């Protein structure tokens, strides 16, 4: 059977000893393959020294890679006999869509395949064959399938964040996720997912923006705000999360990922100063503001818009000083 890492197979001649060979990449090997390349004595000696470990029956990895999630996933695929693909949150992690490494490796197989998973492995069965992708030579379900499978398992906000980030990164689209979801006969929390995909058409670039648009500033009094408005200040261009053109009020939604360190805060201050030269007032709201005190957010923005509109109306009503002099 072809190996999951076949496209990245190291060259024995380039690495010399068996240990150097298996340490060249975080991948798993069958015993018979290592014995054929080197010898039974070399493999058994490396195993006794602890340089090579057996993660699963007939799946060996270098000890230095034993905790690597890619190596563990490769061992699981080797154990499953190429009848599986890494799936759900495990696939989302390997696709680079999640930063939190799963505790177990999740694979998916067709309904006719019956595997008894060892500790640290979870087996799902698909009713509709997923699309597949290769990452680091590993067989994974596609980005769309990984997102939808993860959505069904994660808490709502965590799943929504994954959906939004996957679309925002360009790894998939809302239309692709909707088409794939429609092909699945059963999917948990289908209606909230469909509402989220509808909301993505509004243009939010993060879960925080999604929550702000759909849960906080979703009433008629905030209809003057448009999402993702681009403005130019000299040679610089800024994209405003929400912008009220008449009032010249911008709402910036500061998630921890992009606004949590000192460099980001200094960059935000410089940005706000640039926008002020255009007469734009910036109101910054955090994740906690949006989720824990939405009415406070509404009141803060409501007062800012009303104040700026009063100033604008007053300046238009004030007669020109030269006209008075004449």
pLDDT digits (tens, 9 = 90+) for 200-246: 776 766 778 888 988 899 999 999 999 989 999 988 999 999 999 99
13 pLDDT higher than 60: no
CATH code of the domain made up of 207-317: 3.40.960.10
| DSSP H or E segment with residue 107 | strand 105-110
5 pLDDT higher than 50: no
Q: Which residue has the higher pLDDT, 156 or 207?
A: 156
Here the contacts of 284-287 (C-beta below 8 Å, separation 24 or greater) are 284/251, 284/252, 284/253, 284/254, 285/212, 285/251, 285/252, 285/253, 285/254, 286/254, 287/208, 287/253, 287/254, 287/255, 287/256
Q: Please report which confidence band the pLDDT of residue 14 belongs to, taking 50, 70 and 90 as the band edges.
A: low
Strands 121-126 and 105-110: parallel
Domain boundaries, the chain: 6-71, 83-200, 207-317
Tens digits of residue pLDDT in 259-314: 445 777 888 899 999 999 999 999 999 888 998 899 999 999 999 999 999 988 88
Q: Report the interhelical angle of 190-200 vs 174-183 (nearest 10°).
A: 160
How many Cβ atoms sit within 10 Å of the Cβ of residue 141?
29
1 pLDDT higher than 60: no
Does the pTM exceed 0.85? no
Tens digits of residue pLDDT in 27-79: 999 999 999 999 999 999 999 999 999 999 999 999 999 999 999 999 999 99
Close Cβ partners of 92 (under 8 Å, ≥ 6 residues apart)? 98, 146, 147, 150, 162
Average pLDDT over the chain reads 87
The rounded distance, in Å, linking the Cα atoms of 62 and 75 is 11
The rounded distance, in Å, linking the Cα atoms of 310 and 304 is 10
Model pLDDT, residue 3? 43
Tens digits of residue pLDDT in 180-192: 999 988 888 899 9
């Amino acid at each position: 059977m072809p190996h999951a890492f076949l496209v990245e197979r190291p060259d024995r001649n380039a690495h010399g000893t068996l240990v150097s060979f298996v340490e060249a990449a975080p991948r798993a090997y069958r015993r018979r393959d290592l014995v054929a390349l080197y010898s039974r004595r070399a493999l058994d000696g490396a195993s006794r020294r602890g340089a090579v470990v057996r993660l699963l029956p007939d799946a060996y990895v270098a000890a230095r890679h034993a905790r690597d999630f890619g190596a563990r996933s490769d061992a699981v695929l080797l154990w499953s006999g190429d009848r599986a693909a890494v799936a759900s949150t495990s696939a989302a992690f390997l696709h680079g869509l999640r930063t939190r490494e799963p505790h177990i490796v999740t694979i998916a197989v067709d309904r006719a395949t019956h595997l008894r998973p060892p500790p640290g492995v979870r087996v799902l069965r698909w009713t509709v064959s997923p699309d597949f992708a290769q990452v680091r030579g590993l067989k994974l379900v596609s980005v769309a399938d990984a997102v939808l499978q993860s959505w069904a398992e994660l808490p709502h906000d965590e799943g929504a964040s994954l959906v939004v980030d996957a679309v925002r990164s360009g790894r998939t689209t809302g239309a692709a996720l909707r088409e794939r979801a429609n092909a699945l006969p059963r999917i948990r929390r289908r209606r909230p997912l469909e509402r989220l995909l509808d909301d993505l058409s509004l243009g939010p670039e993060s879960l925080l923006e999604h929550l702000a648009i759909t849960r906080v500033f979703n009433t008629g009094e905030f209809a003057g705000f448009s999402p993702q408005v681009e403005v130019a200040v000299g040679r610089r261009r800024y994209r405003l999360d929400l912008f009220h053109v008449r009032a010249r009020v911008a709402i910036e939604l500061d998630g921890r990922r992009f606004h949590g360190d000192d460099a980001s805060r200094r960059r935000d201050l410089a940005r706000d100063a640039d926008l002020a030269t255009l007469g734009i007032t910036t109101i910054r709201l955090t994740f906690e503001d949006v989720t824990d005190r939405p009415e406070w957010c509404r009141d803060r923005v409501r007062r800012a818009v009303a104040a700026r509109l009063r100033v604008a109306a007053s300046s238009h009503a004030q007669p020109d000083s030269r006209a008075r002099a004449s």
